């Protein structure tokens, strides 16, 4: 049977990809990577929602206000002592 993983944490939230407005990244105190700046608004919203979930998961985990950067392979770069994942689909984003 499935069991909870000790120390694991999931943060998720709903978002509307049509409601991204100029300044949302700044209001959320997040940097928009150049690769995301060139993306359509839907992708920008997905990125923002996922990174907000990741930041909240890190805060709940140990109090850090860390937002994973984007690696060369486009995967999130987590702190060395954290194993995490970010996902999004059809108006939902999550980080664990």
Please state the domain extents for the chain.
11-95
- pLDDT tens by residue, 34-81: 999 999 999 999 999 999 999 999 999 999 999 999 999 989 999 999
pLDDT at 4 (0 to 100):
80
**Which residues are annotated as part of the binding site for CoA?**
43, 51, 87-88
Q: Are 58 and 82 in contact (CB under 8 A)?
A: yes
- Tokens 């959320």 correspond to 28
SS (H, E, C) the chain: CCCCCCCCCCEEEECCCCCCCCCHHHHCCCCCCHHHHCCCHHHHHHHHHHHHHHHHHHHHHHCCCCCCEECCCCCEECCCCCCCCEEEECCEEEEC
Query: Please, which pLDDT band fits residue 96 given cuts at 50, 70 and 90?
Result: very high
């Amino acid at each position: 049977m499935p069991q909870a993983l000790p120390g694991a944490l999931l943060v998720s939230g709903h978002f509307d990809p049509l409601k991204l407005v100029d300044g949302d990244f700044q209001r959320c105190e997040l940097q928009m990577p150049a690769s995301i700046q060139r993306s359509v608004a839907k992708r920008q919203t997905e990125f923002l929602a996922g990174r907000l979930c990741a930041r909240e998961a890190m805060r709940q985990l140990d109090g850090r206000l860390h937002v994973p950067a984007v690696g060369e392979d486009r995967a999130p770069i987590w702190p060395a002592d954290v194993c995490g994942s970010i996902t999004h689909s059809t108006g939902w984003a999550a980080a664990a």
